[in-house]
């Protein structure tokens, strides 16, 4: 970790900045997508299986097309329905929220570990490999989650991202070790 002060301006750091910004933007889009779903959700399921699966749920909410977590949010939409029925839990919104939560749990550690990793002065090609594999795996993970691809596609994308971060953390600890 010698001379890191001079390395903060290197290509590795520029690459880290670019990939970190891209992957964080992707994470923030999940936030926008959740809000979009909450405001526009119609009760419509893609398949009969899904509908049967959520049948108990549908019985409670099939008169309410919007999904809000707070009572005061219901005045965001014009509706003649009972507003209280709009405060409900929807399986599709919950799916996006679980995907977002998984992003938080994986992308934030990547960004923090990646910053320290970029400061250890790694080889440019090794660093680019780590950043590209991680960012790619998270995009695959998001697609696999949102369209419910059969497993283990999502599980593999998640584990690849996790081990990329572990690999960077290993280099940070072995390079910087000072307990």
How many C-beta atoms lie closer than 10 Å to residue 41's C-beta? 19
- Supply 116's token pair: 């320290």
Give the integer Cα–Cα distance in Å for 57 and 51: 9
Total number of residues that touch a copy of itself (CB under 8 A): 69
What is the per-residue burial (b if ≥16 Cβ within 10 Å, else e) of 148-164? eeeeeebeebbebbbeb
59 is an interface residue for a copy of itself by CB under 8 A = no
Task: Please say which residue, 80 or 174, places its beta carbon nearer to a copy of itself.
Answer: 174
Contact 117, 20 (CB under 8 A): no
The DSSP secondary-structure symbol of 76 reads G
Q: In angstroms, give the least distance from the CB of 41 to a copy of itself.
A: 16
How buried is residue 55: exposed, middle or buried, by Cβ count under 10 Å (0-12/13-18/19+)?
exposed
Restricted to residues 83-142, the positions that interact with a copy of itself (CB under 8 A) are 84, 87, 95, 98, 100, 104-106, 108-109, 111-113, 115-116, 119-120
Dihedral angle sign, alpha carbons of residues 4, 8, 10, 11: positive
Task: Please say which residue, 22 or 160, places its beta carbon nearer to a copy of itself.
Answer: 22
Task: Please say which residue, 37 or 162, places its beta carbon nearer to a copy of itself.
Answer: 162
63 is an interface residue for a copy of itself by CB under 8 A = no
Judged by the rule CB under 8 A, the positions of this chain that interact with a copy of itself are 1-6, 8-9, 11, 13-15, 17-22, 24-25, 27-28, 31-32, 35, 50, 53, 69-73, 75-76, 84, 87, 95, 98, 100, 104-106, 108-109, 111-113, 115-116, 119-120, 145, 148-152, 154-155, 162, 165-166, 169, 172-173, 176-179
């Amino acid at each position: 970790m010698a001379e890191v002060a001079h390395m903060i301006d290197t290509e590795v750091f520029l690459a880290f900045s670019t990939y970190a910004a891209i992957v964080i933007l992707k994470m923030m889009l999940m936030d926008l997508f959740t809000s979009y779903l909450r405001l526009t959700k119609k009760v419509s399921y893609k398949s009969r299986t899904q509908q049967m699966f959520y049948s108990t749920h549908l019985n409670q909410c099939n008169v309410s097309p919007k999904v809000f977590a707070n009572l005061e949010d219901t005045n965001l939409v014009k509706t003649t329905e009972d507003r209280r029925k709009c405060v409900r839990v929807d399986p599709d919104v919950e799916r996006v929220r679980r995907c977002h939560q998984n992003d938080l749990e994986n992308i934030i550690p990547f960004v923090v570990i990646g910053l320290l990793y970029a400061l250890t002065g790694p080889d440019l090609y090794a660093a680019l490999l780590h950043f590209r594999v991680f960012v790619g795996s998270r995009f695959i993970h998001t697609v696999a989650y949102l369209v419910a691809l059969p497993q283990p596609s999502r599980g593999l994308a998640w584990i690849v991202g996790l081990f990329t971060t572990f690999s960077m953390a290993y280099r940070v600890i072995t390079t910087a070790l000072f307990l």
